[in-house]
Each structure stands twice: as structure tokens, then as C-alpha cells.
Amino acid sequence: MTIETKPSSRERLLEAAATLTYQNGVGIGVDALCKAAGVSKRSMYQLFESKDELLAASLEERASAYVTTLLPEADDGRSPRERILHVFDRLASEADAPDFQGCRFLVVQIELKNPGHPASQVAYRVKANLASFFRAEAEQGGAGDPDLLSRQLILVFDGASARAGIGADTLTGLITPTVTTLLDVAGVR
């Protein structure tokens, strides 16, 4: 006999924050968050100092799953070129989902416009880690200017994510040739 345990108030708040902010933006009110989580405002403020802290914790909780979904495993035997292309293949797969609204970390940075906001800081760190991955792979793959290539790849990643997220374009047949061209020009093997 298995006993199902109900998620804690904290877990329900984190899930509500992740879902509602992704669907409706970071301007979602505390009342809506608490209602979706089935938690009183008093309980929320006992668990989190502020809505800002809740948003940051929710993003932090999703960061490792994001990285696991997106990045290849370390030392998986593939070339740097293949490892970089893997990230863009994953993005294209994610963008095919009907509820895809772009990279949640980019969206938070755009909506908040405040680099000092706790959620912006989490999002910035996650995006900086992706740029670092691109830079390390570019360097290992023999890119002439790994810093420039990393910046170009982040630009393509964020632009593709944003365009797919607003339904302005599909990534199938577009993103791989674009990234391949950048990798060719940079000399990445």
C-alpha cells in the first residue's frame, strides 16, 4: 500500500510561481499565486520574505532541470561542434511544445528589467552558465575567437527562443543551419 504525500505549502508555492509566471508573466499578483497554491498569504510570507524571493526560489529550483534538459552530459565523447548543436536541437524540441513561451530565464530578465532583482540574478547566472558552456566548447573545438562565438551563439539561442516563444517563427529547419554556419565560420570541429 502506497501512501501519497501531499506537496508541502512551499512546494505548492514554488510550482504555482513557476507555472503562473511562465504563463502570465512576473507581474502575477500574490493573491493569484496563493490561490493557485492553496496557501494563505500569511503562510506564503512565513515561507518567503517576499514575492521576489519566491520568484527567485522558483527559478532556482528549475535551473538544474533546465541545464539537464538542455546540455549534453560532460565528456559524452562527442565533438564540441556536436555538443553545441545538441543544445540547439534540444531548444528546437522544446519549442515544438504547444505551451512553449520561450526561455523562462530570458523572459524573467526582460520583464523585470532590474538586474538587482533576486529573480533576475538567478536568471542571469543560468544564462551566463550557458554562455560559459558555449565558450568552453568553442575553445575546445578550435574557434578562432571563442568569446565572440559564445556571444553569437547566445544571441541565436535567445533570439530563436524568443521568436518561437511568441509564435513568430518555428525553429525546425532554421536553427541548425544558422548555428552550423556560425560554427563553420569560426572553425569549430
From first to last of the 189 residues of the chain, give the pLDDT tens digit.
Answer: 666 788 999 999 999 999 999 999 999 999 999 999 999 999 999 999 999 999 999 999 999 999 999 999 998 999 999 999 999 999 999 999 999 999 999 999 999 999 999 999 999 999 999 999 999 999 999 999 999 999 999 999 999 999 999 999 999 899 999 999 999 999 999
Cα 113 to Cα 110, 118, 132, 171, distances in angstroms: 6, 12, 22, 26
What's the rounded Cα separation, in Å, for the pair 19 and 21? 6
**CATH number of the domain located at residue range(s) 7-48 in this protein:** 1.10.10
**CATH number of the domain located at residue range(s) 52-186 in this protein:** 1.10.357.10
Q: What is the pLDDT of residue 80?
A: 98
User: 8-35 in b/e burial notation, b at 16+ Cβ within 10 A?
Assistant: ebbebbbbbbbbbbbeeebebeeeebbe
- How many residues would you count in the chain? 189
What's the rounded Cα separation, in Å, for the pair 88 and 75? 18
Query: Cα(first)–Cα(last) distance of the chain, in Å?
Result: 54
Residue ranges per domain, the chain?
A: 7-48, 52-186
Q: What is the pLDDT of residue 5?
A: 81
Q: What is the pLDDT of residue 4?
A: 72
Give the three cell numbers for residue 161: 527562443
Q: What is the pLDDT of residue 75?
A: 86
What's the rounded Cα separation, in Å, for the pair 189 and 27? 44
